[in-house]
Amino acid sequence: MIKQKKNGELIIISGTTCAGKGTVIDQLLKRNNNLALAISYTSRSMRAGEKNGVDYIFITHDEFEKKIENGDFLEYAKVRYGEYFGTPKEGVKKLLETGKDVILEIDVQGAQQIKEMFPQTILIFIMAPSMSEVKRRIKARGKETKEQILDRFQTAYREINEIPKYNYVVVNDNLEEAVSKVEAILLSEKCRVDRIEEIAVENQEEFIHEFLMDKDFENEPIKIEE
The CATH number of whichever domain residue 136 belongs to comes to: 3.40.50.300
The 3-state DSSP class for residue 62 equals helix
- Residue 58, pLDDT above cutoff 90: yes
- Residue 141, pLDDT above cutoff 70: yes
Cα–Cα distance measured from residue 213 to residue 217, given in angstroms and rounded to the nearest whole number: 8
Within-domain flag for 67: no
Q: What angle do CA 128, 133, 135 make, to 5 degrees?
A: 115
**Helix (H) or strand (E) run with residue 75 in it:** strand 73-78
Task: For residue 44, give the amino acid letter.
Answer: R
- Residue 71, pLDDT above cutoff 90: yes
Q: What angle do CA 53, 127, 84 make, to 5 degrees?
A: 35
Within-domain flag for 18: yes
The 3-state DSSP class for residue 71 equals coil
- Residue-wise pLDDT for 2-54, tens only, equals 666 788 999 999 998 889 999 999 999 999 999 999 999 999 999 888 899 99
Query: How many separate domains does the chain show?
Result: 1
Q: Which of 8-12, 197-201, 207-211 has the lowest mean pLDDT?
A: 197-201
pLDDT at 152: 81
Q: Which long-range contacts (CB under 8 A, 24 or more apart) does 150-155 make?
A: 152/17, 152/18, 153/17, 155/16, 155/17
Query: In terms of residue numbers, what domain contains 15?
Result: 2-38+100-217
Confidence of residue 196 (pLDDT cuts 50, 70, 90): confident
- Residue 204, pLDDT above cutoff 80: no
Within-domain flag for 93: no
Listed in sequence order, the DSSP H helices in the chain are 21-31, 61-70, 89-97, 108-117, 131-141, 146-160, 175-190, 204-213
Mean pLDDT of 106-117: 90
Q: Which of the two residues, 133 and 177, has the higher pLDDT score?
A: 177
pLDDT at 180: 98
Within-domain flag for 137: yes
Within-domain flag for 43: no
pLDDT at 214: 62
Q: What is the CA radius of gyration of the chain?
A: 23
pTM, full prediction:
0.81
Within-domain flag for 223: no
Q: Which of the two residues, 213 and 91, has the higher pLDDT score?
A: 91
Mean pLDDT of 125-149: 83
Within-domain flag for 55: no
